[in-house]
Structure 1
Amino acid sequence: MDYTGKVIWITGASSGIGAALARDAASRGAHIVLSGRDEARLAEVAADCGETLIIPFDVRDDAALADATAKAIHWKGGVDVAFANAGVSQRSRALKTDMQVYRDIIDIDLTAQIAFSQGLIGHMTERGSGALAFISSIAGKVGVPMRTAYSAVKFGLAGYGDALRGELSQTGVNVHVIYPGSVATDVARNAMVADGSKRGVSDRAIDEGIPAADAARKMLDEMAAGTREIIVAQGMEEQMGEMRRTPDALFDQVAQMVAGGYMEKMEAEG
């Protein structure tokens, strides 16, 4: 994939991985659509990205999402690459965590990211091209203590992405699932604790993690190379991710099922 002239839409683009992806993709000649809730912070990112479109909205607002999708597509006639990146993490024991925390994290990190994708797959398949990238986590490969809700949604997002890849395998639309480990962002500081409030402090592992710019560069490089499952981690986290890596042969097998009419047969039986 050559990013020159491509329209890349990124949710959660006001900071962290999202902002780093925007800056790196812009440096490769892409046109960037920035989304998040904080318009002022999105504007700060846009200042580094050349020609951009800022569409602030809350990913949980279905009407706002539909409007944002229409604007992103209309801007230059289509969306070529979309990053489902918006999300919030968690730092609390399951035994002490309010059920509302689970509902909120599922809504933000999973349901809203699926809705974001669902709004674009028709557009991309009609064009016969495009790429969807889902930001999961090493916690979406290996269940991590103090992150039961976060692991649940990141496993779920990966499952959606893998299944969608199979469905779209004959359409020209690529699907990438990305598994970052500790990346130096505010993810831990902004994480929810047991009562749903913001944690307010970071983790040493996060503070000493991969610089966001380096993580974004690897993500974009791997996508350009056509890698379907992208692990962006170091040390023990990288080892954990690699131990749970899905073999390419399995992805190919699912694509072959679809090519052989699997979905049509299922629909006929229904």
Structure 2
Amino acid sequence: MLTALYNKVSPACCYVTVFLGDERISEGTGFAYTSDGEVLTAAHVVTGRWPIKHEDYLDPNQRIFCKFPGLPVVEYRVFFCCIEIEVLGFLGRVQLDIAVLLPKQLHSAAVSHLPALVEPPKLGQRVFLAGYSEELELPFKVEKLLPPDMRGVSDFLDAMHKGYMADMTGPLIKHGYIGNLRRVVAQNTQLGEQVECDVMYIDNSMHPGASGGPVFDESGDAVGIISQRATTIVEAGKEGKISVPSGCTVAISLAPLLHVARKTGGA
């Protein structure tokens, strides 16, 4: 069962790299939710920082590339980045860490994709997480062993910078259980807007690079997006208290897609 699940999910996950000019400013994971290769990812993967600043992805020098296993790299554009709503009494706008990317050109073949469920998983449910975590490395660190002046090495390294880890390693998949689940409702009564989203804590930790990857159930249906590692505060002697990873992953449900559809008429 797990092999079949991996074979279904792995080709639907893409390695996302974001450049500002020639500088790579962000990288993470995304996943296709349509056969045309429309991608869901975390908003902070698109901008490279949090909170989200819309001028980041509106910069004409920004370029986004998505690499699916076995398919050529394709440049993408932002369709929607971060759901943001003003709530009466809050000091700032509520931001939800979700983005939709669309390919600038057609893929050479149909893209494997995961059905996106807007209903959240249940408390205690077993789920899976997939992403190109920094835990993944090329076998034998081959990219560091290649002499820089060897023919073709510069092209190889350039390809690696645009996501060819997708072909070399595939995503890392872990499983865990929903240990905490809370629905957040952000509402602007004056404009008649309401966004619902479920925040879930999963008792297994994914690391940087996996942000934007899918949370999925045992059928291979996507039920959420990986947002960040959960942290906790520990004593550190003379250093005082420091924040360290807690061992859990924070993810959000796909319920905000309903808001995206209402605002845009669909992708």
Whichever of the two has the greater Rg, that structure is 2
- Structure whose residues are more often helix by fraction: 1
Same fold (TM over 0.5): no
TM-score normalised by structure 2 residue count:
0.27
More relative contact order, 1 or 2 (CA 8 Å, 6+ apart): 2
